[in-house]
Amino acid sequence: QVQLQESGPGLVKPSETLSLSCTVSGGTISSSLYYWAWIRQTPGKGLEWIAHVLYTGTTYSNPSLKSRVTMSVDTSKNQFSLNLTSMTAADTAVYYCARRAPGGVATASSLDFWGQGTLVTVSS
Amino acid sequence: DIQVTQSPSSLSASVGDRVTITCRTSQSVSRYLNWYQQKPGKAPKLLIYAASSLQSGVPSRFAGSGSGTNFTLIINSLQSDDFARYFCQQSYSIPYIFGQGTNLEIQ
């Protein structure tokens, strides 16, 4: 059973960069089948897909955040990371990492395993 | 962007009831539509993928249907464990967008 666990600061100051990591256990991150995703949730905007990355580093980002998002993969640690720059109060949210199932109509790129989430608050 | 409209936003029902939640997309997404269940303080959990395929371990009282722009999640014979928030999500094109959610409450 694949498990994901987010880690990172719970508090970030405005204009700073958020750095979050997600450690994957029970499976390898170095699979060509799966992408590894970040999603966030706020009471106001609901669930928002941020980006997903393949183990090679190939990344697809939400255009609304693209200029601020960087994702990376560390296969030696079975871990992937998110950097989100220029944080504002609007970025306060619960951030989830998840595994994206293979593309194609059979699995429809669904998000089949999720971490428990980590609350990030942006405040000075 | 392909927009996703989910309805109703809230729903009251009783144990044993059959409930229906709908999701409509602004363009065809073929069958790239997924359903998730979320309980307070927990991560979303995948219930249905590719419009109608039941995720492993999910009870068979959950069923999904639809293709193109109109989709339905049906929960047959509601159990107390089913009272939660439900989201649909289109994964046809980036950005993947989620519906606003349906709160399923005990009547």
Among the listed residues B87, B53, B93, the one whose alpha carbon sits nearest the alpha carbon of residue A62: B93
Closest residue of B to A38, CA-based? B96
Closest residue of B to A5, CA-based? B43
Share of chain B above pLDDT 70, in %: 100
The token pair that represents B9 in the structure block? 């936003």
Q: Give dist(CA B107, CA B102) in Å, integer.
A: 15
How many Cβ pairs closer than 8 A exist between chain A and B?
A: 69
Share of chain B above pLDDT 90, in %: 98
In this structure, which long-range contacts are made by residues B55-64, counting pairs with CB atoms below 8 Å and at least 24 apart in sequence?
B55/A110, B55/A112, B62/B35, B64/B33, B64/B35
pLDDT at B50: 97
pLDDT at A106: 86
pLDDT one-digit tens code per residue, B12-58 = 999 999 999 999 999 999 999 999 999 999 999 999 999 999 999 99
B42, B49, B52: which to substitute to probe chain A, counting the most A Cβ within 10 Å?
A: B49
Considering only residues 30 to 49 of chain A, which have any Cβ-Cβ distance to chain B shorter than 8 Å? 46-49
Cβ atoms of A116 and B42 closer than 8 Å: yes
Q: Give dist(CA B55, CA B45) in Å, integer.
A: 10
Which candidate from B55, B91, B101 shows the least CB-CB separation from A46?
A: B101
**Could you say which DSSP state residue A102 is in?**
P
B5 phi/psi in degrees, rounded to 5: -115, 120
Distances (CA, A) of A38 to A6, B38, B63: 10, 17, 27
Residue B107 has pLDDT above 90, yes or no: no
Among the listed residues A14, A22, A21, the one whose alpha carbon sits nearest the alpha carbon of residue A91: A14
Q: Looking at beta carbons, which residues of chain A come within 8 Å of B36? A: 111
| Contact between chains at A108 and B32 (C-beta distance less than 8 A) | yes
Structural element, H or E, at residue A9: none
pLDDT grade for B102, boundaries at 50, 70 and 90 = very high
Task: pLDDT tens for chain A, 124 residues: list them.
Answer: 999 999 999 999 999 999 999 999 999 999 999 999 999 999 878 999 999 999 999 999 999 998 999 999 999 999 999 999 999 999 999 999 999 999 888 889 999 999 999 999 999 9
Q: Give dist(CA B30, CA B90) in Å, integer.
A: 10
Which candidate from B50, B98, B101 shows the least CB-CB separation from A105?
A: B50
